[in-house]
């Protein structure tokens, strides 16, 4: 039976198994549910601290702050919280800037506030005789909004407010979600229904979900949204669509969220030249999109003015160019900097930015796909305009279950690099598998590149501290759709949540973020919280084990990327599975050592030497960097073949434990959520078994060794 037939059956089963649950919590309210506080002692302490709120600001954002705090505290405390002036209560929450409130001015240090920029905030409790104050202070209303959501988070997670001293500002300036949504409302790599954006209704009808989307993102500190696919349809730049985009921008603006657009590099080209497909352009009146052509440059300047006339705070353009069929400057003999700089010049008068993606892998560049982005972009370091990011994925291939860090990070000190992560689980079981991604992202943030010596972690590169970037950014390819629960899988919400929190502060632990999300989204019962948290924290490593252990990668089903297809060899070579695993009678893995493709040479010392030596290469990357003999002795004492089988078995066993763990929570969590997750886990167990059996049996045809038993 062909593997793709197996996968089709698997997907069909998944659809019917995972989309039915009884009446109950449908997940719509995400982590901003504001369930009443069950701990009566904690509730009493909160009631003694806050009886009323004062928000003296008058902006639209200030109105949102008042509404959100009243809504949240009313529901959490189970009583009415009144809005008053900022000097009329003995248990008062005051939210304002120093210019708005004398109390804020009295109890905050301007020198401290000056260090917090536009987004940072102060939370502080003050006891003054018989008057108890909690203050939220910031330099802007958006900063106050972030502080208000953080206070609500503290209450939701039963934190102590009595001696509150908390100062926070984001480590990264641009904190964006990238939507791969199309104008027909399909979503590329989307597994939670159709696009949120109802283009046929906009701009006249605004779905309430747009506001709830903005609320959820603001609660995490996400401050930008690229609302359309990187494989951009140029029609997004037509006047009728720009008016629709402007309507969304108006909804998002009071929440501190700016709109960005993905653009098609060939947009200026006229359809009369026979270039009509969505990937090739066709809304302009030109015969070329050559970035050196003055007419092309003027076209983009005119388009930028048109956009900013409608959306004064428009953020800028995201560009996928000369990649996977998308047009770009190389078609005209120009390089990536030439293309990015043309767009940057058009946006510069309005303080807009360009995010130029480094996801390029032209075969002529190098036989090893993993090396191609580095070879194309490193020679251009310092040649980009100051308002250009080069946006690179976390690894050098394509959001695989585990990759070493993309070697571009650290290698372009003169060009701000924006990190691109994937929240949607393109290669990790879509919205069927429970895979908590914060541990993955933490592994990347803590990866030491050695670019400026020991301790130059990816986090320090992205936040600008290591190489003194003048602007910093991070983007997450979102998992959001129009499914009632937003992400298809209830636990998929945890990845949206974790991304936003890590974008603000990547030093937060995966455990803390899981704890917060569980308490805010599921339950505050300590035993249940610890049980679910333990299950979540091991889920990513388990997924690696039952899919692609020991550094295997890119052996998934053609096109759909859901199940295994290690025998796939019927396509462009670097889209096939056999190109990556290279199984033969000798062993398994892609030789990227100094005697192979020498991809190790793109890393800084001592990483390159560590990765180059099969005996010192971390085993989690072993098959990524080496073609390893089947009988190679691993650290466990097992030979590589046996270790490979052991890992596949371990992944299965962990999913079995997740199934049993979740079953033990029946009656302890909302019944609708319980049934929904139980059905997903059942399918995940089936899928993990298919991954195990398909891969182990396939690789055995090369190893010629018996499949060991570890029972």
CA gap 481, 479 in Å, rounded: 7
Closest CA to 124 of 112, 142, 107: 107
CA gap 362, 324 in Å, rounded: 9
Is 324 a residue of the active site? yes
Alpha-carbon Rg for the chain in angstroms: 26
Active-site entry in 426, 515, 516, 643: 426
Inter-residue contact 463 to 473 (CB < 8 Å) = no
- The CA distances from residue 656 to 20, 83, 202, in Å, are 22, 51, 46
Closest CA to 702 of 597, 580, 567: 567
Closest CA to 707 of 697, 496, 553, 665: 697
Which helix (DSSP H) or strand (DSSP E) does residue 638 occupy? none
Active-site entry in 313, 398, 452, 598: 398
Closest CA to 440 of 518, 499, 512: 499
Active-site entry in 324, 569, 609, 631: 324
- Torsions phi, psi for 525 (to 5 deg): -65, 120
Cα 392 to its chain centre, rounded Å, is: 13
- Judged by DSSP in three states, 659 sits in helix
CA gap 101, 88 in Å, rounded: 13
Q: In the 3-class helix/strand/coil scheme, how is 689-710 assigned residue by residue? A: HHHHHHHHHHHHHHHCCCCCCC
Closest CA to 100 of 66, 59, 131: 59
Q: Would strands 131-138 and 121-128 be described as parallel, antiparallel, or unpaired?
A: antiparallel
Is 454 a residue of the active site? no
Closest CA to 310 of 257, 250, 223: 250
CA gap 626, 612 in Å, rounded: 8
- Judged by DSSP in three states, 258 sits in strand
- The CA distances from residue 637 to 101, 158, 353, 437, 612, in Å, are 67, 47, 52, 30, 21
Inter-residue contact 199 to 229 (CB < 8 Å) = no
CA gap 351, 13 in Å, rounded: 50
- Active-site annotation, residues: 324, 398, 426
């Amino acid at each position: 039976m062909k593997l793709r037939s197996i996968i089709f059956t698997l997907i069909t089963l998944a659809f019917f198994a995972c989309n039915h649950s009884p009446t109950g919590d449908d997940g719509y309210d995400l982590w901003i549910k504001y369930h009443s506080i069950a701990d009566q002692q904690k509730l009493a302490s909160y009631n003694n601290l806050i009886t009323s709120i004062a928000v003296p600001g008058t902006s639209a954002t200030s109105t949102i702050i008042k509404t959100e705090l009243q809504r949240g505290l009313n529901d959490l405390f189970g009583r009415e919280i009144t809005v008053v002036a900022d000097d009329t209560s003995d248990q008062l929450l005051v939210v304002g800037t120093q210019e708005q409130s004398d109390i804020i001015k009295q109890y905050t240090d301007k020198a401290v506030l000056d260090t917090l920029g536009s987004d940072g905030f102060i939370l502080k409790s003050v006891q003054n005789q018989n008057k108890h104050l909690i203050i939220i202070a910031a330099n802007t209303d958006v900063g106050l909004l972030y502080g208000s959501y953080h206070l609500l988070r503290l209450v939701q997670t039963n934190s102590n407010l009595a001696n509150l001293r908390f100062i926070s500002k984001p480590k990264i300036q641009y904190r964006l979600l990238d939507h791969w949504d199309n104008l027909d409302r399909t979503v590329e790599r989307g597994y939670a229904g159709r696009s949120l954006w109802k283009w046929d209704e906009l701009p006249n009808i605004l779905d309430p979900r747009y506001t709830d989307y903005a609320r959820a993102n603001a609660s995490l500190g996400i401050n930008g949204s690229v609302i359309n696919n990187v494989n951009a349809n140029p029609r997004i730049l037509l006047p009728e669509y720009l008016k629709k985009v402007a309507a969304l921008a108006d909804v998002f603006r009071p929440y501190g969220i700016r709109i960005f657009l993905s653009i098609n590099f060939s947009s200026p080209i006229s359809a009369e030249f026979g270039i009509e497909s969505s990937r090739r352009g066709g809304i302009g009146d030109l015969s070329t999109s050559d970035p050196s052509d003055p007419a092309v440059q003027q076209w983009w300047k005119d388009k930028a003015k048109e956009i900013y006339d409608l959306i004064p705070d428009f953020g800028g353009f995201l560009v996928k160019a000369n990649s996977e069929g998308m047009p770009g400057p190389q078609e005209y003999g120009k390089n990536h900097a030439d293309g990015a700089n043309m767009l940057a010049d058009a946006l510069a008068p309005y303080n807009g930015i360009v995010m130029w993606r480094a996801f390029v892998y032209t075969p002529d560049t190098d036989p090893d796909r993993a090396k191609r982005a580095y070879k194309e972009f490193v020679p251009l370091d310092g040649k980009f305009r100051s308002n250009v990011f080069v946006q690179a994925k976390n690894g050098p291939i394509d959001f695989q279950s585990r990759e070493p860090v993309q070697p571009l990070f650290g290698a372009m000190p003169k060009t701000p690099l924006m990190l691109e992560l994937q929240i949607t689980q393109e290669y990790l079981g879509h919205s069927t598998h429970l895979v908590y991604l914060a541990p993955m992202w933490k592994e990347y943030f803590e990866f030491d590149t050695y670019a400026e010596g020991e301790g130059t972690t990816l986090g320090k590169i992205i936040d600008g501290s290591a190489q003194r970037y003048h602007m910093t950014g991070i983007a997450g390819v979102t998992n959001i759709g129009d499914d009632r629960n937003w992400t298809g899988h209830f636990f998929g919400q945890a990845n949206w949540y974790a991304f936003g929190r890590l974008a603000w502060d990547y030093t937060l632990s995966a455990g803390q973020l899981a704890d917060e999300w569980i308490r805010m989204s599921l339950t505050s019962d300590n035993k249940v919280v610890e049980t679910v948290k333990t299950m979540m924290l091991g889920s990513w490593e388990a997924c690696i084990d039952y899919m692609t252990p020991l550094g295997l990668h890119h052996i998934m089903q053609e096109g759909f990327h859901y199940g295994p297809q290690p025998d796939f060899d019927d396509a462009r070579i670097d889209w096939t599975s056999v190109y990556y695993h290279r199984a033969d009678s000798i062993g398994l893995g892609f030789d990227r050592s100094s005697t192979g493709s020498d991809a190790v040479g793109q890393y800084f010392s001592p990483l390159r030497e560590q990765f180059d030596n099969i005996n010192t290469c971390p085993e989690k990357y072993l098959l990524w960097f080496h073609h390893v003999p089947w009988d190679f002795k691993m650290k466990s004492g097992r030979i590589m073949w046996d270790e490979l089988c052991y890992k596949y078995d371990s992944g299965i066993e962990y999913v079995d434990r997740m199934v049993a763990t979740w079953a033990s929570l029946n009656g302890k969590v909302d019944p609708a959520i319980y049934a929904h997750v139980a059905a997903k886990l059942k399918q995940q167990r089936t899928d993990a078994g298919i991954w195990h059996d398909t891969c182990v049996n396939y690789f055995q045809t090369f190893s010629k060794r018996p499949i060991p038993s570890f029972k």
